[in-house]
Every structure is written in structure tokens, then in C-alpha cells.
Amino acid sequence: MDIPAMRASFAKAAAHGDQVPLWFYSHLFLTHPETRDMFPVSMAHQRDRLFAALGEVVARVDDLDTLVPILQQLGRDHRKFGALAAHYPAVGASLLATLEHFDDEWDDALAASWAEAYGVIAEVMIAAADEAADAPPWWEAEVVGHDRRTIDVAVLHLRTEQPLPYLPGQALSVETDLRPRLWRWYSPANAPRPDNALELHVRARDGGPVSTALVRQAQQGDVVRLGPPVGHLALDVDSDRDLLLVAGGTGLAPLKALVDQVARQGPARRVDLFVGARTEDGFYDRADLHRLAQEHPWLTVTCAVSHEKSSALEHGDIGDVVLRHGPWNGRDAYVAGNPATVEDTVTRLHAAGLPMGRIRTEVFAPSRPSPTVDGKVTE
């Protein structure tokens, strides 16, 4: 494979923006109409996702140690769409046709490189899907509680009929009949429980059809579907160090799951949880955080606001507040929230002496196009 030529070819296509996925899906649906049923009725929120994922794959194509686990994850996850081995050649043919359409220097050598690369991608994904054949492609869960905490945040309590194995800190994709065939990612706010209960924190976002439906339309008794777990924010099983948890917004959910894991499974350790918001109204889960701190003497919860001077809570960006309570050099740190919060907090912690190898992060970005590739969450 001529990897530099492939990257140059992809860059040419990517420069054409929305025209590229539009051309790809038009070609796919015209040449293989049977694939249309795997996609939502409206493609407005879908068109950019394939090529965003492809861009991530192309960026890592010369790093197989990183790429193969990503492809295996994609292969397992895509079972929920009804993807079969027979669909892969159709997608590959439309992919190559699209790249050729947007590259005036396309030739047989480039076509051969792309065909070889796609063949490897498909082979790894199909094999991973086959290995997961004994597991469900998705789990059905009933909404047993819907608590609208603020105008744009709801806490959903779900219960699956069958156990759904996941690690606290991981994410699950969610589909609702309110928005069929649109899957979006959320992290359970609890560790797995014997009664198969899950808690999801959902923020309605502008232009987010699934999150808006889950917050404003979902109700008790609805059934949603949950895809296989992904993500990397799980506790380091080889460490018994005390924990520093830093959350912004609904980034609280996976960190709350880690607290639940310590409470249920141990080992015993100190846990300091910092939660940041612009104003006090942003602390949608404050009552339950207070309950957890009361129940567990090893847990300390600190809430801080960045834009409300009249608040009695601590003031400042959450990363700054965290450093005031340090040092944290002996901790394992987990940070989740919007990109700016995560980047600022990680930068401050590392500058203060905490090794990067003991900082794990999860970015909650509404515009992030490809959570299936890198484990990042939401809509």
C-alpha cells in the first residue's frame, strides 16, 4: 500500500466537504438499495460520520497496534446496524468510486492501494463481528424512571432484561423509537448491578435529535436499545492508589460510575470528586452527590462555579479549583467533560507534577463526529 498517496487522495476528497458523503451514500443506495434500511430515514445527522471515521482510520493506517483494536471494536459495534459480511463489498465499491470521483489524478496503483487497505479493514471487522456472534448485537432496556432535572438535562433510569456486561466508565450507544436508527453515546452513571439497572445523564443539545428526544419526549415505559460497551475510562486494575476525579457537565456520569465501583468492589481508597459548572443551576445531580458523600466517609465531593460570584460554592475554573486542594502527585486522575475543561485540567495537573501516564480522560463533545472510533461520547 502506498500510504502517503492514500492520505493525499483522502485529503483531496475531504476538501470537498459535504459533497463527498452525499456522493458516497447516493452511490451506495443506488447500486445496493438493500443497504438503505440500515440507515435513518433522515441522513442529515449521518452523512459525515462514515468519512470522519474513515479519516481516523487513514490517520492510523501505518500503526496496526493501534488500528486493529479500533477496527475490531467497530466490527463488533456495527452488528447493531444489521451489518453483514455481504455488505462490506458494497461499501468498499462505493468508497473507491467516491474517492476516484474526487481525485483527478486517480490511477490503477492508487485504486489497488485503497482496495488492499479496505480489504484488510473489512477482514478485521468481519472477524471481530463473527467472534462476538454469541453476544447480543444490542440489549433492550425499559425506561423505569425519567427525572427532568433542568430545562436541558434529564436522568434516565433503565433496566435491561438480560445482564449487559460493561466496565464503569465505559459508554453505551443508545437508540430510541423516537429517533429510529440514530445511535448516540452515553456513559452509565453506575457500576453494573444485580438488578440490571442503569442510570444515564442526558443533556439536550441544539441539533441533537437523540439527546433532545430522550430529555424532552422519553417517558416511563418506553423501550430503548443499548449497543455494546466501548471506551477506555475504566479504573486501572493494577493500581490501588487513591483517586482524583474531575467532572464538567454530564462528564459526571462515568466518574460517578467509578465511585459506585469503589463502593461496591473496592479496594478501599480515598476518592476526591470535583464537579464544575458555570452556575449553581448546572449541578443537576447535587442531591445525589450529597447522599454519596454522606454514605461514604472515603469520598469528598467539591462543587465549584466559574461564572456566579454570588454563589457560596468555590469559585474558578474547575482545573484551578482542583489545584488549590492539591498536591495530587500520588493519585490516579480521571477527567471527563467538554474539550476545554479536559485539556485545561490535564495541562494543570501535569504541570503540577502528576505523570501523564496516571491521567485518563473522556471528552464529551457535541460536535465530535466519530465516537465509535475513539471511545469518546455523546451527541
Rounded to an integer, what distance in angstroms lies between the CA atom of residue 170 and that of residue 233? 6
* Nearest residue to 21 (alpha-carbon basis) of 56, 67, 53: 53
pTM: 0.82
3-state secondary structure of 331: coil
Phi and psi at residue 378, in whole multiples of 5°? 110, -160
Band (pLDDT 50/70/90 cuts) for residue 266 is confident
Mutual orientation of helices 3-14 and 87-101 as an angle, nearest 10°?
80
Rounded to an integer, what distance in angstroms lies between the CA atom of residue 304 and that of residue 320? 10
Element (H, E) at 16: none
At residue 71, the pLDDT reads 87
Q: Which CATH architecture is the domain 139-226 placed in?
A: Beta Barrel (2.40)
Rounded to an integer, what distance in angstroms lies between the CA atom of residue 189 and that of residue 191? 7
pLDDT reading at 34 higher than 90: no
Tell me the DSSP string of 185-214. EE-BSS---TT-EEEEEEE--TT-HHHHHH
Rounded to an integer, what distance in angstroms lies between the CA atom of residue 307 and that of residue 205? 21
Rounded to an integer, what distance in angstroms lies between the CA atom of residue 198 and that of residue 27? 40
State the average pLDDT over residues 226-231.
88
CB 274, CB 317: distance < 8 Å = no
At residue 376, the pLDDT reads 41
Band (pLDDT 50/70/90 cuts) for residue 373 is very low
State the average pLDDT over residues 329-349.
94
- In eight-state DSSP terms, residue 238 is T
First to last CA, the chain: 35
At residue 176, the pLDDT reads 93
Between 38-47, 91-100, 166-175, 230-239, the lowest mean confidence (pLDDT) is in 38-47
pLDDT reading at 367 higher than 50: no
pLDDT higher for 233 or 47? Answer: 233
At residue 35, the pLDDT reads 87
* Helical spans, DSSP H, in the chain: 3-14, 19-31, 47-59, 64-77, 87-101, 108-131, 209-216, 252-265, 286-295, 318-324, 339-351, 371-374
Q: What angle do CA 121, 125, 128 make, to 5 degrees?
A: 145
pLDDT reading at 377 higher than 70: no
State the average pLDDT over residues 14-39.
88
Q: Which amino acid is at 15?
A: A
Top-ranked range on mean pLDDT: pick from 57-66, 86-95, 280-289:
280-289
pLDDT digits (tens, 9 = 90+) for 139-193: 999 999 999 999 999 999 999 999 999 999 999 999 999 998 888 999 999 999 9
pLDDT digits (tens, 9 = 90+) for 46-67: 666 766 777 778 778 778 888 8
For the chain, what are the domain ranges?
3-131, 139-226, 243-374
CATH code for the domain defined by 243-374: 3.40.50.80
Cell numbers linked to 118: 479496505
Instruction: Give me the half-sphere count of Cα atoms (radius 13 Å) on the Cβ side of residue 107.
Output: 4
At residue 37, the pLDDT reads 79
Query: Per CATH, which fold does 3-131 belong to?
Result: Globin-like (1.10.490)
- Residue identified by cell 476545554 is 340
pLDDT reading at 69 higher than 90: no
Rounded to an integer, what distance in angstroms lies between the CA atom of residue 255 and that of residue 17? 36
